[in-house]
């Protein structure tokens, strides 16, 4: 165990950032570029990430063929569903117990050990990555914008709350994120899914084009996967390479040349180069402290994750970016005489309005005209396609509100998948070869409504390895989500029929809550301090030098993946923070 270099604890930093994922990294980038002296505390290790990801390793060069070593186990759908808690008794033989994402040898040290990081309550597949960069080391890269269909969703269907901002407010910040980090895609001019400033796009393959054309007559849109990947390269960033299209994206592991965005190479290393950032990994923040006289945040208490030593560090501003659920946990833990229900919680909304995306329904099929054709290079790209939302845009669906989109892909892959061919020997191999390029599949992601009664709080008894109280879930999908999931299955079939595909498998199983890894909303923003935790700049209504800049601030989940929006909002909030600081308002 090498203890982390001591930070100068006698110093008062301009800002301390808790967490180093998409949100924490962006806060570090924006604030250090404005000359602020910033300390970043990250609970996990700084891994030798290239050594972990080994994107070009062949399965035969890996002792467990790329899967987990025998002493480790990653949780299955059934284990999440029937075990309470999912990491409970029955796993004695497994030294390491990991979430469902930890099923490969390349992610095993990135995701947390479930036993060391327990949680309780209703079933939830909680995926956490405790290391420098957090979940951005292994994210799926789909980078979408939200629109006023999302920001002003209440105006359309009366449910929930509108955001205190509209698309016009955030659009310039989406542009900044696009240009600074790089994104590939194709312009579609859709008002419900605004375009980014795209770099060179990937190509759709034959079956994907067939599906695109098949659904065009239904007024539906399929576009290239909008990937948070630089396809042209970024001249201003020496830590990242452009995408070589190596086909490693789908290997559940991340990109070891950093063409795909990750927070360390995209944001944190450049911020360190300014000389204004101090980084301390292995630092688990357990409380945001408050000056009893002013009521303002004064700094944080943190535990060295390896030595267990406890420290306090002072800062003029505290920026919480520990990811939606961990940020809620930290604020709930930060109780004081002035804030008896947790910090920034005078509204009672902290931990509530928790929302995400419902997943599960999907389809697999075969483009018959591709059977027996010569293999093509289809997986040398960072994603397949995105089939955009089509429900509740112009028309109102009679059974549910809001919408969903599909992520999918087709074609030949290094390792044939989904061919549904059974058998053995030479004839089996021949059948697999004949069919593999014809396979096409897609799965839906739908908006889970933001409801007050879906919430997290602290478990009164269970603690993690560092003695910090665990989070307890009170969270279930509702009728709207289940009715939407029914529709996902029907429309998937209808669209594959329209494209003339042979349908091989339709899934209507709704995956466990949490499966999307898009948790949002636990400290929502709003104009009214009685019903929201943060204002439009992700600044606490109660404590003006406290900002929460991750997915916690979302008012609803929309059906688009959240990371690009998290970063655009964070950039906007940090611009505001720096201005307010200059004016002496914090
Ligand atoms: C397999 C996978 C696929 C995904 N696919 C997509 C996708 O296609 N598109 C998309 O938009 N999103 C996707 N996501 C989600 C995306 O990764 C997250 O939205 C994003 O990483 C959120 O950023 P964050 O900074 O809020 O949290 P994180 O990236 O999780 O970072 C939070 C950091 O805070 C640290 N931390 C937590 N608690 C503390 C504490 N008490 N003290 C100090 N540090 C702490 C953690 O260790 C972590 O490093 C995916 C995620 C996964 C795992
Ligand atoms: S396809 Fe591109 S983004 Fe994906 S792992 Fe390879 S180089 Fe990285």
Instruction: Give every CB contact of residue 143 below 8 A, 6+ residues apart in sequence.
Output: 183, 185, 196, 226, 227, 228, 261, 561, 563, 564
Determine which residue's CA is closest to atom 2 belonging to ligand 2: 243
Flag whether the pTM goes above 0.85.
yes
Residue with the smallest CA separation from ligand 1 atom 49 is: 134
Q: Which ligand 1 atom is at minimum distance from the Cα of 285?
A: 42
Contact partners, residue 71, CB within 8 Å, separation at least 6: 94, 95, 96
- Ranges of H-type helices in 182-268: 206-216, 263
CA torsion angle 148 153 154 158 (round to 10): 140
Predicted local confidence at residue 26, as pLDDT? 98
Pocket of ligand 1 contains residue 130 by CB under 6 Å: yes
Closest-CA residue, ligand 2 atom 4, reads 249
Q: Look at residues 444, 439, 426 and name the one whose alpha carbon lies nearest to residue 481.
A: 444
Ligand nearest to the CA of 248: 2
Residue 572 to residue 537: CA distance in whole angstroms: 7
- Alpha-carbon Rg for the chain, nearest whole angstrom, is 23
Predicted local distance difference test score (pLDDT) of residue 59:
84
Distance 445 CA to ligand 1 centre (A): 18
Q: Does the beta carbon of 330 lie inside 6 Å of ligand 1?
A: yes
Please enumerate in sequence order all residues whose Cβ is within 8 A of that of 100, keeping only pairs 6 or more positions apart, or say none: 74, 75, 76, 77, 80, 125, 127, 515
Q: Among 47, 141, 229, 322, which residue has the most ligand 1 atoms within 8 Å of its CB, making it the best to mutate?
A: 322
CA distance 228 to 312: 36
Q: Checking DSSP bridges between strand 469-474 and strand 455-463, what pairing results, if any?
A: antiparallel
511 in contact with ligand 1, CB cutoff 6 A: no
Best mutation site among 55, 142, 256, 378 for ligand 2 pocket (most ligand atoms within 8 Å of CB):
55
In terms of C-beta distances under 8 Å and separation of at least 24 residues, what long-range contacts does 173-177 make, across chains too? 173/568, 173/569, 173/571, 173/572, 174/145, 174/564, 174/565, 174/568, 176/568, 176/571, 177/26, 177/564, 177/567, 177/568, 177/571
Tell me the helix, strand and coil percentages in the chain, rounded to 5.
Answer: 25, 20, 55
The answer, yes or no, to whether any atom of ligand 2 lies below 6 A from the CB of 227, is: no
Probe ligand 1: pick from 21, 46, 99, 141, max atoms within 8 Å of CB?
Answer: 21
As a residue count, the chain comes to: 586
**Can you give the pLDDT at residue 4?**
57
Structure tokens at 238: 């020496």
Q: Which residues of 340-422 form beta strands (DSSP E)?
A: 357-366, 385-387, 404-410
Residue 9's CB: how many other CB atoms inside 10 A?
Answer: 12
Residue whose token pair is 């020997």: 425
CA 393 – CA 477 distance, rounded (Å): 22
Taking the CA of 261 as reference, the closest ligand is: 2
Query: Closest ligand to 110 CA?
Result: 1
Q: CB of 478 within 8 A of CB of 451?
A: yes
The ligand placed nearest to the CA atom of residue 242 is: 2
For each of the chain's 586 residues, which pLDDT tens digit applies? 444 556 888 899 999 999 999 999 999 999 999 999 999 999 999 999 999 999 888 888 999 989 999 999 999 999 999 888 888 888 888 999 999 998 899 999 999 999 999 999 999 999 999 999 999 999 999 999 999 999 999 999 999 999 999 999 999 999 999 999 999 999 999 999 999 999 999 999 999 999 999 999 999 999 999 999 999 999 999 999 999 988 777 776 689 999 999 999 999 999 999 999 999 999 999 999 999 999 999 999 999 999 999 999 999 999 999 999 999 999 999 999 899 999 999 999 999 999 999 999 999 999 999 999 998 888 889 999 999 999 999 999 999 999 999 999 998 887 776 667 788 899 988 888 888 889 999 999 999 999 999 999 999 999 999 999 999 999 999 999 999 999 999 999 999 999 999 999 999 999 999 999 999 999 999 999 999 999 999 999 999 999 999 999 999 999 999 999 999 999 999 999 999 999 999 9
| CB contact at 8 A, 576 and 549 | no
* CA of residue 241 to ligand 2 center, whole Å: 10
**Which ligand 2 atom is nearest residue 251's CA?**
5
Nearest 5°: CA angle at 549, between 11 and 573? 85
Q: Which of 74, 135, 444 to mutate to test the pocket of ligand 1 (most atoms within 8 A of CB)?
A: 135
Dist. CA 398 → ligand 1 center (Å): 35
């Amino acid at each position: 165990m090498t203890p982390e270099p001591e930070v100068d604890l006698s110093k008062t930093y301009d800002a301390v950032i808790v967490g180093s994922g998409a949100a924490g990294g962006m806060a570090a980038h924006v604030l250090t570029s404005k000359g602020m002296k910033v300390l970043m505390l990250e609970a996990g290790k700084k891994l030798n990430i290239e050594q972990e990801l080994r994107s070009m390793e062949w399965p035969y060069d890996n002792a467990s063929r790329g899967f987990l070593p025998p002493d480790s186990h990653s949780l299955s759908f059934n284990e999440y569903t029937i075990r309470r808690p999912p990491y409970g008794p029955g796993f004695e033989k497994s030294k390491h117990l990991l979430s469902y994402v930890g099923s490969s040898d390349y992610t095993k040290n990135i995701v947390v050990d479930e036993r060391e990081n327990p949680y309780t309550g209703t079933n939830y597949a909680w995926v956490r990555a405790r290391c420098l960069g957090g979940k951005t080391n292994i994210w799926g890269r789909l980078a979408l914008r939200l629109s006023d269909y999302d920001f002003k969703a209440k105006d359309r269907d009366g449910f929930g709350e509108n955001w205190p901002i509209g698309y016009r407010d955030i659009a310039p910040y989406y542009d900044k994120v696009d240009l600074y980090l790089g994104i590939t895609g194709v312009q579609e001019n859709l008002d419900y899914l605004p375009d980014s400033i795209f770099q060179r796009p990937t190509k759709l393959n034959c079956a994907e084009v067939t599906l695109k054309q098949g659904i065009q007559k239904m007024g539906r849109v399929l576009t290239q996967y909008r990937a948070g990947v630089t396809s042209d390269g970024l001249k201003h960033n020496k830590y990242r390479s452009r995408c070589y299209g190596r086909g490693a994206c789908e290997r559940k592991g991340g990109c070891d040349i950093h063409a795909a965005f990750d927070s360390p190479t995209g944001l944190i290393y450049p911020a360190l180069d300014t000389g204004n950032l101090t980084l301390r990994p292995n630092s688990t923040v357990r409380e945001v402290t408050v000056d009893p006289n002013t009521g303002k945040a004064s700094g944080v208490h943190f535990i060295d994750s390896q030595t267990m030593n406890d420290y306090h560090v002072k800062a003029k501003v505290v920026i919480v970016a520990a990811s939606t659920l961990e940020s809620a946990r930290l604020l709930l833990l930060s109780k004081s005489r002035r804030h008896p229900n947790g910090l920034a919680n005078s509204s009672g909304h902290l931990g509530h309005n928790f929302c995400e995306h419902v997943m599960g329904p999907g389809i697999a099929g075969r483009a018959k005209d591709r059977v027996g054709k010569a293999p093509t290079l289809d997986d040398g790209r960072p994603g397949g396609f995105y089939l955009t939302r089509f429900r509740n845009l112009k028309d109102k669906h009679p059974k549910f509100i809001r919408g969903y989109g599909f992520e999918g892909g087709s074609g030949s892959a290094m390792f044939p998948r989904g061919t549904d061919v059974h058998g053995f020997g030479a004839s089996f191999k021949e059948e697999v070869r004949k069919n593999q390029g014809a396979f096409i599949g897609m799965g839906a992601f739908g908006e889970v409504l933001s409801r007050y009664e879906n919430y997290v709080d602290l478990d009164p008894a269970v603690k993690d390895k560092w003695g910090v109280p665990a989070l307890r879930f009170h969270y279930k999908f509702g009728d709207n989500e289940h009715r939407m999931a029914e529709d996902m299955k029907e429309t998937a079939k209808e669209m594959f029929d329209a494209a003339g595909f042979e349908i091989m498998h339709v899934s209507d199983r709704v995956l466990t809550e949490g499966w999307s890894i898009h948790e949002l909303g636990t400290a929502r923003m709003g104009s009214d301090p009685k019903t929201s935790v943060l204002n439009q700049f992700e600044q606490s209504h109660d404590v003006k030098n406290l900002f929460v800049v991750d997915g916690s601030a979302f008012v609803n989940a929309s059906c688009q993946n959240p990371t690009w929006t998290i970063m655009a909002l964070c950039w906007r909030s940090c611009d505001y923070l720096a201005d307010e600081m200059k004016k002496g308002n914090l």
